[in-house]
Amino acid sequence: MSISPLTKRKLKRFVAIKRGYYAFILLVTMILASLGAELLVSNRALIVCYQDNWYFPTYGDIIPGKAFGLDYDYETDYRDLADRFRSQSTGNWVLLPPVPYSPFENDLRPDILPPEPPSIQRRHYLGTDTSGRDVLARLVYGFRIAILFALVLLVSTYVVGISIGCAMGYFGGWFDILLQRIIEIWSTVPFLYVVIIISSIVVPNFWWLIAIMVIFGWMGMTWTIRTVTYKEKARDYVLAARALGASDLRIIFRHILPNTVSIIVTYIPFSISGGIVALTSLDYLGFGLPPPTPSWGELLQQAWANFSAWWLGFSVISAMVVTLVAVTFVGEAVREAFDPKMHTVYE
């Protein structure tokens, strides 16, 4: 599949906008790191060498303590195992992740009173929350959930919005008028009240929240695509395709939609940031993902209730600012690079 010269110019223009390009690299790095979070942040060891046998617990089954000569059958405490091996000097060793804590694990050692401030010695680099859970671990896993939520929401709302918008703009007439009235009525339904009612009936989860957000979030893209399609269908290339006997679906998918890609692409970064903010807001209000799911909104809630634990608010607000500013820089760069006026020559 070859890339057209126009697309190459747009990509070259995007790379030339340094703040957007570097922000894109930062975001991709953060996403890849979060997808492999178990290798960086986990209470399971990466590698255990015991009596010349090698174990890889990170993505494997639960390994009981008895497998390493301990006196219990439940899952091995790998931090304790590493300390034991170091003290025994028997040639056995454990390789732990840089942050050896799970986002669900409560560190309730006698000498730790949560929330605990940052400590390099205890390897709680951003401290612990009010339940003794590592803040950095919950930030990393919370980012993974937030970015996946935003991406799934983006695809879902765009599929629905683009499909309905294309149909409205292309067919027009009574079909367009009817859907306009439906959208106007539906857009007046208070989103937050609906979420509160649903939350009182069922426990919201990832897919429930996606469904609710799609039901109330498809209208914006629908209006945009409707306007673009309405304008594109009157152009000569559409009239020529219709004269050659092309079906409506072929005209929409092979001719009109490809000419709306530039507009769709410019909205993607801002839709992603909107999805992250939406999930964080719902979690903060208590109507999002159920506990103990790692969540930036839940950390914000704890920070609001514990002003003395400054590291809670500082950590999550810094993470949100870096993420949203990076997404905004990418969005501005994409919008500038894909602007048709930048690639049009008037004679």
- DSSP-derived letter for residue 252 is I
Would residue 63 count as lying in a domain?
yes
Residues 29 and 49 in one domain: no
- Nearest Cα neighbor of 285 from 181, 204, 218, 202 is 204
Q: What is the pLDDT of residues 314-347, one digit of tens each?
A: 999 999 999 999 999 999 999 888 876 554 544 4
Would residue 173 count as lying in a domain?
yes
Residues 194 and 293 in one domain: yes
Would residue 109 count as lying in a domain?
no
Amino acid at 19: R
Residues 86 and 191 in one domain: no
**Pair type for strands 47-50 and 53-55:** antiparallel
314: exposed, middle or buried (Cβ count in 10 Å: 0-12, 13-18, 19+): middle
Residues 302 and 230 in one domain: yes
- Nearest Cα neighbor of 104 from 38, 48, 13 is 38
Would residue 128 count as lying in a domain?
no
Q: What is the CA radius of gyration of the chain?
A: 26
Cis ω for the linkage preceding 292 (within 30 of 0): yes
Q: How many independent structural domains does the chain possess?
A: 2
Q: Which residues make beta-bridge pairs with 124?
A: 119
Would residue 222 count as lying in a domain?
yes
Residues 289 and 242 in one domain: yes
pLDDT number for residue 341: 56
Residues 31 and 162 in one domain: yes
Neighbours of 203 (CB within 10 A): 9
State which residues of the chain have pLDDT below 70.
Answer: 1-2, 340-347
Residues 187 and 316 in one domain: yes
- Nearest Cα neighbor of 228 from 340, 125, 60 is 340
Residues 49 and 31 in one domain: no
Residues 55 and 176 in one domain: no
Would residue 110 count as lying in a domain?
no
User: Cα separation of 337 and 262, whole Å?
Assistant: 9
- Nearest Cα neighbor of 256 from 281, 235, 277 is 235
Residues 23 and 48 in one domain: no
Would residue 127 count as lying in a domain?
no
Residues 29 and 52 in one domain: no
Range of the domain at 299: 5-35+136-338
Long-range contacts of 60-63, Cβ-Cβ distance < 8 Å, separation of 24 or more? none
pLDDT number for residue 157: 95
Q: At what angle do helices 206-217 and 219-232 cross, to 10 degrees?
A: 40
Would residue 115 count as lying in a domain?
no
Here the CATH number for the domain that contains residue 283 is 1.10.3720.10
- Nearest Cα neighbor of 191 from 156, 217, 153, 164 is 217
Residues 51 and 195 in one domain: no
pLDDT number for residue 34: 94
- Nearest Cα neighbor of 145 from 265, 282, 312 is 282
